[in-house]
């Protein structure tokens, strides 16, 4: 798996002081490594910035109509 892992993951560098701070921060949390914490934070940031495919008002109206027809909305 070692070689495989190298294909799927890339190394980046961060300042040692930041690394130390993160190490402190994850103590007592469920994150087992600085890498897993940094991946989580970066993923959140990237997803936040990614544009969702817009859900048009027309689409939303169609959904509401179905929800009404099924009795989920009044």
Partner 1 sequence: MPLPKPHGGRLVNRTLSCERREAAEKEAKELPRLKLREELLSDLRNIAHGIYSPLEGFLCQDDFENVLFEKRLADDTPWTIPIILDISHEERERLELQEGDALTLCDGSGREIALMHVESIYSYNKEEFAEKVFLTTDKAHPGVAKVYELGELLLGGEIEMFGEVEPPFSRFYLRPVETRVLFKERGWRTVAGFQTRNVPHLGHEYVQKTALTFVDGIFINPVIGKKKSGDFKDEVILAAYETLLCNYYLKENAVMSILPMEMRYAGPREAIHHAIIRKNFGCTHFIVGRDHAGVGSYYSPYAAQEIFSEFPDLGIVPVFFKSFFYCRKCMTVVNEKICPHGEEFRISFSGTEIREMLLRGEVPPPEIMRPEVAEVVRRWENPFVS
Identify the residue among 10, 16, 46, 56 touching partner 1 (CB under 8 A). Answer: 46
User: Are 33 and 19 within 8 A, CB to CB?
Assistant: no
Identify the residue among 17, 24, 27, 47 touching partner 1 (CB under 8 A). Answer: 47
Q: How far apart are CA 27 and CA 5, in angstroms?
A: 25
**C-alpha angle 47-53-57 in degrees, rounded to nearest 5:** 130
Sites of contact with partner 1 (CB under 8 A): 1, 8-9, 29-31, 36, 39-40, 43, 46-48, 50, 52-53, 55, 60, 63-64, 66-67, 70, 72-73
């Amino acid at each position: 798996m070692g070689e495989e892992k190298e294909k799927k993951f890339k190394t980046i560098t961060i300042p040692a002081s930041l690394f130390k701070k993160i190490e402190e921060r994850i103590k007592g949390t469920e994150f087992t490594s600085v890498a897993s914490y940094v991946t989580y934070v970066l993923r959140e940031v990237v997803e936040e910035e990614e544009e969702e495919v817009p859900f048009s008002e027309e689409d939303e109206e169609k959904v509401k109509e179905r929800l009404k027809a099924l009795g989920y909305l009044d």
